[in-house]
Amino acid sequence: MAGNGMVVCPQPEAAESGVEILRAGGNAVDAAIACALAQTVVDPMMCGIAGFGSLAVYKPADGVHEYLDFHAPAPRAARPDMWADLVEGETRDGFGFVLKGRVNDLGYRSICVPAALKAYEAAHAAHGRLPWKTLCEPAIRWAEEGWFVRPAMYAFWIDEGTMGRTSSAERLAYTASGRALYCRPDGTPKRIGEPLRNLDYAATLRRIADEGAGVFYQGAIAERIAADMAANGGLLDRSDLENYRPVRSVPLEGSYRGRRIATNQPPGGGVMLLEMLNILERFDLAGLGHNTPEYIRVVCEAMKRATVDKDRFVGDPAFVEVPLDRLTGKDYAAGLAEAIRRGEKAEVARLQPADLVPKDTTHLSVVDADGNCVSMTHSLGMPSGVITEGLGFMYNGCMGVFDPRPGRAGSIAPGKSRFSALCPTIVFEGDRPLLVLGAPGGTQIVMGVLQAILNVIDFGMTMSEAVSAPRFSSTSNAIDVSNRIPRFVTRELEAQGYQVIRNPFGHTIAWVHGIRILPDRLDGAADPGRDGVALSA
């Protein structure tokens, strides 16, 4: 393979950090961890060391192809019925529930067990080449020397929230540390181009660089976290930190038009991706035409059926028996495809749906000169807003997506992880990786990754064309479309009885970042809806 490798992600500063590590002799895993740590600095509401995610590693020379899943589990103090009487509604796209007092959405009780840092360290220990401390250095430098507010970051910071969900600005300003770091004197978020520095986080990262993740999970940082949680009524305690372990798993595999699709196991979104690809394999998508009314109808009906199955069946496999063989089976998909061919509309049930489009989470894709590949999506969920004084990082808000109604696949239970649409994916052509990709974007992640794969395989697009083409989605009974999809297209869908909701953004519905691996070069692309880059080493 030509070239010395590539890093693609939504933040130029983080991509630079990953490329620096590749140029210093690190492999794809080293570069991915350095990039991820830098992302926790320069995009502090999208991800963090107190977040969660899913990481794919492919190392052909070592015969390694595995996932490290680090979905943040509910603290041991959580109970299935603790919020059952507080339910006010469910978001339209299925990305969480609205409760009285927003107890699941903002503040200390919204926090699940921090998972990300331990996973970064575990991935490095298993597959890295350079010293751990070296991988931490770029992130420390960004925190100490500073960066600035980017356009996509600012767009998220001023997101107003809807139907009872908390605005991003309120999350930023929830603690004194957040206000000092990210807000102007009047309490509003800092504007595009304004400088940012986080010396508290730099100090935290230095301790982690010197002492490893143990200081966060068992040592001095763990003590400060536990004390803060206890003082403010949090569910998280010291034992949650001490007992957390990421999960190593084999890829969940399927096929699409002769290509092998390797994605993540539940509670990740890979099962939805494979189900949709299996359905769509039964249609001549190229013959329908890209983003024609019939193409959108067919793909959206596949999306709706996968969403219905996700809501009913998919949860943490340690707590829920997920019928994977059925959901990812070609025969099951054939029956669903025939219903779509007959014009049947799937019904996606929502509890008093509230309108919310998630914009959190981040992603990175890395390929090195030896053909090693990493695809990692990581997040804070809808962030909690909590920053422990002096530590500099924000905690996840993962309790907000659990179903507060007991007895369901997504219900709360101590130690249980909730469904996440994260689906870092590698597509193979024969034995050769063809695509390394993934996306941020809440529930829309799987829908964005799906369309990028279809764009390459069915329509012959380059990586840049595939991630830039206008997207649509249906995770409810409505169809959401990018504003670049013409109204003469959506009018035909409306004439068929579909509600079409037009997003004012032209680049939206997840933000896909990927690398297409060609025999003589790497074709990488960052979604134009974010601020990212594809940098060659």
| 468 contacts: CB under 8 Å, gap ≥ 6 | 507, 525, 527, 528
257 sits in the region (left: phi over 0; alpha: psi -120 to 50; else beta) called left
* Catalytic residue of the set 361, 388, 425, 490: 361
What is residue 439's three-state secondary structure?
Answer: coil
Could you tell me if 521 and 496 are in contact, meaning their C-beta atoms sit under 8 angstroms apart? no
Sign of CA dihedral 5, 47, 465, 432: positive
Question: Encoding tokens for residue 224?
Answer: 């400060």
- What's the CA angle centered on 232, arms 231 and 238, to 5 degrees? 65
d(CA 480, CA 357): 10
- Closest-CA residue to 121 (of 241, 223, 211, 33): 33
463 and 431 Cβ atoms separated by less than 8 Å: no
Whole-number Å distance between alpha carbons of 23 and 262: 28
Residue 443 known to be catalytic: no
Buried b (16+ CB within 10 A) or exposed e, 32-58: bbbbbbbbbbbbbbbbbbbbbbbbbbb
In whole angstroms, give the CA distance from residue 454 to residue 226. Answer: 46
> CA–CA distance from 33 to each of 9, 139, 262, 369, 516 (Å)?
12, 10, 21, 17, 21
Reading the block at residue 481, the tokens are 């479309």
Q: Helix count (H) and strand count (E) of the chain?
A: 19, 21
Distance CA 535, CA 522 (A): 10
Helix (H, G, I), strand (E, B) or coil at 358: coil
The residues annotated as belonging to the active site are 361
